A and B are shown apart, each in its own frame.
Chain A
Amino acid sequence: MIEFCRVTKIYNRDIKALDNVSLSIDKGEFIFLVGPSGAGKSTFVRLLLREELPTEGRIVVDGIDTGRLRRSQVPFFRRRIGMVFQDFRLLPERTVSENVAFALRVVEAPRREIYRRVPQVLHLVGLAHKSRAKPAELSGGEQQRVALARALVNNPPILIADEPTGNLDPDTAWDIMRLLVEINQRGTTVVVATHAHEIVDRLRRRVVALENGRVVRDEEKGAYGGEV
């Protein structure tokens, strides 16, 4: 599903954000991308979304080589990837359901589809009762669920979460993680970039550890620190 082949990304000529990274993620996998700040997690995500191109190497996502993608095709490519961020990135002056519907409007989904899908995903993330609330009236966990609903509403085969629990207290973080696991069980490939030790250690999923732009560890049912 996601294939990094000897990928190197250099910023400003001498800052190596990723150094010869090769990584293969299968369809339906759930993986944690861990590592200290500056290890290259964000660069990994940006390359995956084709916000940037690798300096060297090849990235293939869902059968598409991002390096060969024409600029005009990038939006259609991004529709295959659901994205969740640490800071939620919701539109503050729109209601919950408007925020979710926004992702469908943008892809020019028919109105009937919007009316059908939005309540569905809001139900999935457990926020059906708050559909008319504005983001400011919600807790952090609830806001992140709205972001999740927005990421899922287009049924993308891949979901990427960049520090999804970074701004949340431990209990709420667990709720979000459980949701991510549930989404993964429905067949979506899930990549979570995080440095939440307890979560990684308890879930025992595949862990890819980055350090200074290199993959230093890649193990099934791994832990954050690497001691199995």
Chain B
Amino acid sequence: MRFSTWEFYLREAGRSLIRNRFMSLASISTVALSLVILGVFLLGAVNLNNVAGTLENQVEVTAFLDEKLQAEEIAAVTARIKNLDGVREVNYVSKEEALERLKEQFGERRDLLDSVEKNNPLRNAVEVRTKTPDDVKTVVQELKAMPAVAKVSFKEEIIDRLFKFTKAIRLVGLAVVVLLVGATIFLISNTIRLTVFARRREINIMKLVGATDWFIRWPFVLEGMCLGLVGSLPAVILVARFYKWLAASVYQTLPFIPLLPPDAVLGCIQLLLVGIGVLVGAIGSAISIRRFLQV
């Protein structure tokens, strides 16, 4: 493709944008609005996903060891557990350490535990974290099969419910994103359809003198991409401002909500929004011109 051809496409796109400036403005606002909604939603989804992820990773299996094991046997068992498929990390907790933790949890009323100090009823244990939450069940089975392990504890019901919850969040999130992108494409293609309609004479003449379909399409696609790009800029700024404000106030007043820091998520989301804007513009105009090419 020649350079002068691209110059021609760009000039055509620019001409059309200026000639239809009110229509262009309308589509830019539409894009901006949809992208703001999409952006806010994406931020929400990312945060929920993050929360779900942390919750999932907190799932822990505890293997209580047989009381009669000697120190070297304990080390061997711990090593064996660590080598099981799906195990990410293990942490040996002696019964003395367990008691210390308990005391910490009791805080000021730790004196209540003084009586059990001499005859510690707790057991030595190995805390196991799995690589993925899905590994929990198999790891538990393996642990139960070990003679050195007296008892395995994990919260099965909670895990199942948690999985269902996080899966639902992800599914709903995906559906909403698809819906929003679809709506934006529809709106852009409607706007560009008007500019295409206004130029159908020109398209007709282009076909007549032997223009290929892509030659006719490119100026419109560029126009759509331009609308998408320009519309995404205010959206990106607005979304960033909103999230920074939200993060600042949440950190101040509700610090226990694990909101992701703006610097960690905004860059990615902003890039994504601009990308979606441009892509949606291109797709929207390609859709709207299709009908006029069928001569």
23 A-B residue pairs with CB within 8 Å: A49-B208, A72-B213, A75-B211, A75-B212, A75-B213, A76-B210, A76-B212, A78-B207, A78-B208, A78-B210, A79-B209, A79-B210, A89-B201, A91-B202, A105-B8, A106-B210, A107-B210, A107-B211, A108-B2, A108-B5, A110-B2, A111-B4, A150-B209
Min CB distance, B162 to chain A, in Å? 54
In the complex with contacts A75-B211, A75-B212, A106-B215, A89-B295 CB distance below 8 A: no
A174 contacts the other chain (Cβ, under 8 Å)?
Answer: no
In the complex with contacts A89-B204, A91-B202, A107-B5 CB distance below 8 A: no
Min CB distance, A139 to chain B, in Å? 21
Q: Is the CB of A51 within 8 A of B295?
A: yes
Please give, as numbers and ranges, the residues of chain B lying within 8 Å of A150 by CB-CB distance: 209
Please give, as numbers and ranges, the residues of chain A lying within 8 Å of B207 by CB-CB distance: 75, 78
Min CB distance, B254 to chain A, in Å? 59
Min CB distance, A34 to chain B, in Å? 23
Main secondary structure of the interface of B (DSSP, over half): helix
**What's the tally of chain A residues with a CB closer than 8 Å to chain B?**
21
Question: Which B residues between 1 and 42 are near A, CB-CB below 8 angstroms?
Answer: 1-2, 4-5, 8
Distance in angstroms between the alpha carbons of A65 and B7 in the assembled complex: 35
Min CB distance, A116 to chain B, in Å? 14
B binding-site residues for A, Cβ under 8 Å:
1-2, 4-5, 8, 201-202, 204-213, 215, 295
Distance in angstroms between the alpha carbons of A106 and B212 in the assembled complex: 8
- Of all chain A residues, which has the CB nearest B206? A106
- Of all chain A residues, which has the CB nearest B205? A89
Q: Is the CB of B209 within 8 A of A154?
A: yes
Please give, as numbers and ranges, the residues of chain A lying within 8 Å of B205 by CB-CB distance: 89, 91, 102
Min CB distance, A208 to chain B, in Å? 23
Name the residue among B8, B201, B205, B212 with the largest chain A CB count within 10 angstroms.
B205
Min CB distance, A30 to chain B, in Å? 22
Question: Which A residues between 128 and 173 are near B, CB-CB below 8 angstroms?
Answer: 150, 154
- Of all chain B residues, which has the CB nearest A85? B208
Please give, as numbers and ranges, the residues of chain A lying within 8 Å of B4 by CB-CB distance: 110-111
Please give, as numbers and ranges, the residues of chain B lying within 8 Å of A176 by CB-CB distance: none
Distance in angstroms between the alpha carbons of A77 and B5 in the assembled complex: 20
A180 contacts the other chain (Cβ, under 8 Å)?
Answer: no
Please give, as numbers and ranges, the residues of chain A lying within 8 Å of B204 by CB-CB distance: 89
Please give, as numbers and ranges, the residues of chain B lying within 8 Å of A83 by CB-CB distance: 208-209
